[in-house]
Each structure stands twice: as structure tokens, then as C-alpha cells.
A and B are shown apart, each in its own frame.
Chain A
């Protein structure tokens, strides 16, 4: 009974805070609403006796959402939420897509036949998971680790300010808007500014 009430409370919290993510006026608040949603799902996992997964989800998301909040302050407009904020495009299409995907996945959950086999009592799932991680599923575990390492290297390579031979964005800067001018204007402009843009000494 208590378990059921707790479950429904945290389910409602997970869905409500997930919805608030896209309704908050401040992106920092949106990040922390997302953290609330993740924490609620983590607690549901703990209630389902997947303690390790639930707690590691909360731990990981606590760190990630803090980084995300820092990103919001650094890059995005209106991080403090002083003004109302809606930055959406094709809102109605997105609402329809969201509702349709909810109905489709929920119908799958409601009407598909799944085997019923609860985790047995008295066995420690965390211990079993640890043995599995370093036993039969070692390859999966190692592959996940190498994938994360590759992601770290790729993140540094993409976001680095300097590449091996100079600025990282060299050659990838968007060209200026091409304006087609009448021929007379081009000749006049050339006569007005005949000097080349870069002087010969500038390459050193």
C-alpha cells in the first residue's frame, strides 16, 4: 500500500517535472526540473529494487544537470528567467508528435503480453549485477568504457579552439552573404580600394 502510494507520487512527480522543463521561463530552472524528473525515476528504480541503477542515475544526472545549468548561463539568452520565454517552432506539430508517440508507446505497454517473473526476494540484485558486469557481460562493460573514452576524445576534438595546424574553425567559417552588384559598382569599388586585403608580410 505504502509502496503503491510512493510509486504513484514519484511517477506523478517525474511526469510533472518533465513537463515543466519546457514550460519554465529560465533555462537554468528547466535544467533543474529535468534533474527532478531524473531523480524521481531514480527513486522509482530504487523502489523496484534496482538500487544501484537508481542511485547511479541520480548521481550522474546531478553532475550533468549542473554542467547544463552552467552552459545555460554561459551561452543562452535569459538564463535568470526575468522575462517570459518561449522559444519554440512548429509547436502544434510537436504537440501532435508527442501525443502520438505517447499513445503508441503506452498502447504497447498496455496491450502487449509480457512474461510475469518478478525478481526473487532474498537475492541481492546489486551483487548479481556486479558479478555480471565483471563476468559474463564483461565485453559489454568494456565496450561501454571504450565508447565513453572515444566520446571524451571526440568532445575535446570538436570543442577545441585550436586544431593541429591553426584555428580549429579555419576554413569552416560561414562565408559572408554574396551580394550581386551591378558591374559598374564593382568597378567603382575596385577603383576605390585597390590594395589587396592581406599585405605580403602578413603570412608570417
Chain B
């Protein structure tokens, strides 16, 4: 240390501290650069070239052709090409947005419900709290396969139960028919991620001071009003964090759809279609463009959330 001190005599203690902190951070920053930034930049670069999977290093720069380009035919008709003019891409965007909106709202409502129950004192609460996390702990591939079998039209248990109860008259081919495919995916996703929501909501609930409830009780406030006027506003920060996490996850959903309803037009999401182009269709750069768009959409979403969060923060501090 003495050698260092003599080398930089003019630096104050805080500056020296900042400098040594930099050294501690460097390995982490380097790791982040190589596992996150580098692949991302490379994908963005690929999206402006005509790279294929067989020749990763010989792609030529093509500008925005993978995103949007047009050609005029000799007949005068203009043909638009590129991801932004691709109907299947917009279908995937719509599927993803629909999936995100539906799954996150259902999970938020159910999650709050479960959290409220788990917040109450009852015998065996610890056990129930642990048990409810099981769906979240199972790898998605496994749960998707499992549900795939349960939803099967011939030997699936779901159809068997519904038939026996008399709710349906003929077995439903959940994952096969285009009308029910999205429902099937939603069922599995809700089953899997409600515990996660519940856990985050429960953490939010536990932050609320008990005396507020006592005061409300003494004043004789109706429990529903207590929920909407006290519980919900106070757990809102935790809930918002949970929702943003889930929404980010849902926007890039891949494994569940890929295993449960592969290739179904009704459920193909942005990630699924990007992979399809990257690998199956020999349109690597086109898929890279779609991945880049997916990244951009998520980035916009996060930025919007941060902005809304700031506004709220300002409002809360008055």
C-alpha cells in the first residue's frame, strides 16, 4: 500500500477507494460484457448482414433489408419484404402480447389471492407455503411435457375428469385445435407461475404494518374496503415489481410453447418464430433481425416501466 500511496500522492481517500472498487468490479463487468453485451451486439450486427448458419463469418452487409425493403416489379407492383412486412411476424407479436397480457393479469389476481390466504395464521402454514412453490420449482420443459400428456385427447386425465363430471360431451384436443391451443398454454403458465407471484405478493403483504389494520378494525371498516384502500395501495410497489418480472418473462416465452404446441400458428411467439428462422429455415440474419426487434420491444417496455415508476415515486413523496 505504501508503494501505491507514494505513486498517487495527490488522490484523496475517496478517490482511491473508488479506484480500488473499479478493480474489484472489472472481472464482473468483463464477464457481463462477454455473456450479455457481446452476443447482443453480434446478433444486432448479424441482422444487418446476409449471414447463414453454415457460413457464420462470410456474411455481407445488407443494411435494413432484413427489417424492411421493397422491390418494384416490371409490372409496377411494389413488393415489400423483410420482418416488418411479414404477416407471420406480426401474428407472433400479437400472440406474445395476448399471452403476456392474459397470463400476467390472471397470475396477478390469483397470486394476490393465494398471498392473502398464506398471510393468515393457520396450522401447517409453513408446509403449505413450501408446497405451493413446487410448480415453480419444476423445470418448464418437464411441466410442459407433463401437461401435454394430461391434456391429451385420448388418454389425458383432464379430458377424463371433465367427461366424468359431465362438463364436456366429447374429449377436447387441447393442444391440437387452434381455438384451445392458447388456452392450454395459458393454463400451464398460470399453474406454473402463480406461486412466484404469490411469493412476491406475500413479501409485500408482510411489509404492511399491523397497526393500520387494527385502526381500521376499530373504526369498523368493511373488509373489502380495507383490501382496496389499505392492502392493495400498500402492497403496490411489491406487486408492480412482480408484474414487471413476469411480463418480461412472458414477452420472451419460448420453452412452454415449443414443447406444448410446437408449430401451432395460434401460439407461436416472437422467440419461437425467431428460432425457427435462425435455425430451421436457413434465414439466420432474418432471425437475428427478429431477435433484435424482440430485444427492442422489451427494452421499450422496461423504459416505459422505469418512467412510470419515477412518476409514481414523485407522487408518493409529497
Chain B binds chain A: no
